[in-house]
A = this chain, B = another copy of it.
Amino acid sequence: MMQQQRRALLRAGTTVDEMVRVLADDILKGLLPPGEKLDEPKLAERFGVSRTPVREALGQLSAMGLAERRPNRGCVVATITDHRLTEMFEAMAELEAACARLAAQRMSAGERRALSDLHQQSADLVHKGALDEYAAFNMQFHSLLYEGCHSGYLADLVSTTRSRVAPFRRAQFNVLGRLRKSWDEHDAIVTAILRGEAETADRAARAHVIVVSAASASFVSDHRSSTPEEMSDA
C-alpha cells in the first residue's frame, strides 16, 4: 500500500516521540503492568504505523528503564525485585530529603506561600476521604517541593525515581488512616520549610518517604513474573 503520504501535516513532534509519551504514560498509570509483553506487531497496529518506529520507541523506553529488552526475545514492561524497590525508595528518601533541605533554604516567599496554601487546601480532602483527589494533590505537593530546591537536575532525578516506582505503589492511600497520616507528615515538612529549618525539613521528608516505602513494600511480589534470573540485578 502507499507509503505515509500526508501524515506529517497533522503531527507535532515525531511519531516515535508521541508513542514514547503514550506508552510511558500507560506504564506509569499501570495500564501496562510490569512484565507485560510489548509486542511489536501489536503496537504497530495499535498506533497505525509500521514496526520501525515501534522498535525505536521500545528502544527508548528501555533506555529510560521503563522496559526491558531481551535480544531476539522481545520486550516487556520493566519488572523489578522487591530488593530493588527497597533500594529505590531508599534513594528517593535521600533525594526528597535533599530537596526539602534546599527548599527550606532557598524557596522564595511566594513559593513558600504557594506550598503552604496548597497544603492547607488539601486538609479538606482528608476530611472528605477523597482518595483520588488527594493523590492528585499529593503529586502537586511533591512537585512544588522539587521546584523549590532550585536545582532542576536534582528535581529531575527525584521525579524520575518517583515515576519508576509509580507502577508498584498503586492503591497506596486506600490503607485506612494513611490519608490522615500522610497529611500530618506533609505538615511537618511544610512547617519546617516555612521556618527555614533545613535539617528538620530534611528529617521530616526522609521519614515521610520511609513510611510510604513501608506501605508499598508488600505490593511487588504480586507483579513479580516467574523468571528467576531477575534476582541477580542488584
Interface residues of A (CB under 8 A from B): 13-14, 16-17, 20, 52, 55-56, 59-64, 71, 84, 87-88, 90-91, 94-95, 98, 151-154, 157, 161, 233-234
Contact = CB atoms under 8 A, between A and B. Distances in A.
B87 A98 contact: no
A153 B90 contact: yes
B153 A88 contact: yes
Contacts of A56: 55-56, 59
**Copies of this chain in the oligomer:** 2
A151 B91 contact: yes
Nearest to A57: B59
A14 B63 CA distance: 14
B152 A87 contact: yes
Contacts of A152: 84, 87, 233-234
Contacts of A94: 94-95, 98, 154
A68 to B, nearest CB: 13
A13 B73 CA distance: 12
A194 to B, nearest CB: 22
Contact of A153 (B64, B91, B154): B91
| Most B CB within 10 A of own CB, among A20, A151, A234 | A151
Contacts of A20: 63
Nearest to A87: B153
A91 B154 contact: yes
Contacts of A88: 153
A157 B157 CA distance: 8
A55 B161 CA distance: 27
Given A84-B152, A153-B234, 9 more contacts: A20-B63, A52-B52, A61-B63, A87-B152, A87-B153, A91-B153, A94-B94, A94-B95, A157-B161
